[in-house]
Amino acid sequence: MQPLLHLDNVSKRYGAVRVLDGIDITVADNEFLTILGPSGSGKTTILRIIGGFEGIDGGRLMFEGRDLSAVPINRRPFNTVFQDYALFHHMTVAENVGYGLKVRGRPKAEIAERVAEVLDTVGLGTLGGRYPALMSGGQRQRVALARAIICEPRLILLDEPLSALDVELRAQMQRFLKSLQRRLGIAFVFITHDQEEAIALSDRIIVVNRGRIEQEGAPEELYRRPRTPFTASFLGDNNLIPGRLAAVDGRLCTVDTAAGRLDATVDGPAPAPGSAVLLAVRPEHVRLDADPAARDGLPADVADVRFLGANVMIELLTPALPGAVIKVRRLADGAVAGLRPGASVRLGWAADDAALLQAAP
Amino acid sequence: MGVMNTPLRRDRQDLLRAGLGHALNLGLPLLFVVIPILSFVVVSFWTLQDGQILLIPTLANYRAFFTEGSYLSVYLQTVGLSLQVTLVNVALSTAIALFIFRRTPRMRFLILMSFMLPLFMSYIIKVYSIRSILGQRGLLNEAMLGLGLIDQPIEALLFSRTAIFIALAVLYLPYAILPIYLALDRIPANYLAACADLGATPLQALRDVVLPLARPGIAAGAVFTFILTFGDFVTPQMVGGTQGFTFGRIVFSQFGLALNWPLGSALAVILLATTLLAVALAGLSLRREHVR
């Protein structure tokens, strides 16, 4: 099936700085796609290129098979929710929301009717007469959304729209965004640096770093099976253990590390035996045995125990892996209540919970 | 060990300091603005008899404005001229400010500064250079002659109402460009992006977002121009000749030539009232302004 939007090998440079280096992104109809990356990764540039605020230096931008490069901003069938909303402060909420229809020359009665409809959709039914300055952050956010959806675009671009909201409102707006996207059936391209937000919202995540795509896939796939060290450490926490791939047997791999032979699993093609690899183990997947009689696993000492509310984060030092701090996340229950820095434990993990990554070249 | 500051003494000192602060806050404007203005308001109610100013309260000076000579007609003509100058000046300045606004940030500063340059020059030099441009053998006439647009120099360029009009419009351009440009500069950059994103053409964005948000600056520029034009008496005299008898010149002549301070003061009060009215009207037009 032809994608709705296709960034085909797109490059962008500012002067001598290459911001995007041959990026290839497709957006499907009705999809909630998140572009996730740290600041300076090029994610905002991607959004600005789609929106038409930036040109490209290489590649093509295709919309339903048509080249969009020469189409000006005001003729692209997309609308943007800006990071700080960019609501016109001299217009009422209704005027802001109806502006897209007004410039298209629609009759006043039709605009009023559509504005009322859309304000209802975003839950601001009665606030059309207000000025944006008199609204809360969450309400302004909804106005920006209403303004973006009223022209029924094929695609909505959202530039870190939740970053200005406090934690509670943020969670509420996340749920709202997701349900709105499902109801409207419009593709959302969402930019964020917040991996939790990306995981909670997206059908698909594209992780970008330094102007390149690191990895893309469904949130769960990216979380469980990171393929690059960057994805492994940017999406949630990971313990990364360097080694050399010794043998591959189906999904099961054996890796030579400083702590001896360790097992890991790989989805898809495995690296060549002998190549430098990393084992990635989530803190919540590390097994911990405080029984002095235990003989399984690597001996380790507790370096630090941090209480985080529902969880505790335990940091371990093991002589088998000098210099490495192994992080362990546990529910803050009775099983960890007695753990103190200095205690001796044994640690381990199931081979299934250790993902194999190609080490950075 | 030095003298301890007892709490009581500190309280007293704070009180004294606060009192002094308030006295300055109120006293300085009172001393430098209100009292000088009030003084000529007071003088405007005094009587002139045989060249002597007598402290007899009278409304005769104000009556004279409405009934005697050409005061009222010159006043109305000057209001008309000032309104025309304001209109042309604001239109030009808005165009220039928009032009500057659309350059790259570095160019903006350069162009803005070059338009502000006249502010750093002496008023007299500016008026003389305008005279040398408009004169019979001036730049404008010579240029038009050279281009074959006219057969002989146009005399009416200088010492005419047109000359005053052109001179004032040019002279007060920077005073309107600056506030308008500053208002444009305060428009968040992403407003224009949002306009385009919502499908607006550049012209629609100008009409719906840029100009409405520039309105405070335009109003300020208009008020500046009107006030400065209305009170100006040097420019009309120097480029207008006998044709340029404006209200400002009448006020000036009452203090200078005629030595009729009470009448001069009354006319000055009327001038002040007119400019205050202009400020009030401008303020009224901005009432619907919404702060972000």
| Phi, psi torsion values for A292, nearest 5 degrees | -60, -25
Output the six-digit token pair for B114: 């070059």
Residue among B188, B201, B290 minimizing CB distance to A86: B188
CATH number of A5-224: 3.40.50.300
Give per-residue pLDDT as tens, B26-70.
888 888 888 888 888 998 999 888 878 888 888 988 998 999 888
Nearest-CA distance from B213 to chain A in Å? 7
Output the six-digit token pair for A97: 């929301």
**Per the CB < 8 Å rule, is A53 touching B193?**
yes
Q: From the CB of residue B245, how many other CB atoms can be counted at a distance below 10 Å?
A: 20
Q: Is B200 on the interface with A (CB under 8 A)?
A: yes
Q: From the CB of residue A249, how many other CB atoms can be counted at a distance below 10 Å?
A: 9
B6 pLDDT band (50/70/90 cuts)? Answer: low
B138 pLDDT band (50/70/90 cuts)? Answer: confident
Output the six-digit token pair for B223: 């008020």
Domains A5-224 and A237-358 share a fold: no
Q: From the CB of residue B147, how many other CB atoms can be counted at a distance below 10 Å?
A: 8
Q: Which domains does chain B have, with CATH numbers?
A: 69-285 (1.10.3720.10)
Residues of chain B with pLDDT > 70, as a percent, come to 95
> Does the interface predicted TM-score (ipTM) exceed 0.85?
no
Mean pLDDT to the nearest integer, B254-274: 89
Residues of chain A with pLDDT > 90, as a percent, come to 62
| Nearest residue to A63 (alpha-carbon basis) of A192, A198, A189 | A189
A143 pLDDT band (50/70/90 cuts)? Answer: very high
Contact residues on chain B for A102, CB-CB shorter than 8 A? 208
Sequence-distant (6+) residues with CB within 8 A of B107 are none
Helix axes B71-101, B161-171, angle to 10 degrees: 40
Mean pLDDT to the nearest integer, A176-189: 92
CATH topology of domain A237-358: OB fold (Dihydrolipoamide Acetyltransferase, E2P) (2.40.50)
Is residue A354 within 8 A of residue A279, CB to CB? The reply is: yes
**pTM of the shown model:** 0.81
- pLDDT, chain A, mean: 90
Give per-residue pLDDT as tens, B140-167.
888 888 888 888 888 777 888 888 888 8
| Chain A contact probe: residue of B190, B191, B192, B197 with most A CBs at under 10 A | B197
Q: What are the domain boundaries of chain A? A: 5-224, 237-358
| Nearest residue to B112 (alpha-carbon basis) of B10, B180, B188, B161 | B180
Q: Is B286 on the interface with A (CB under 8 A)?
A: no
- Asked whether the predicted pLDDT for residue B291 surpasses 50, the reply is no
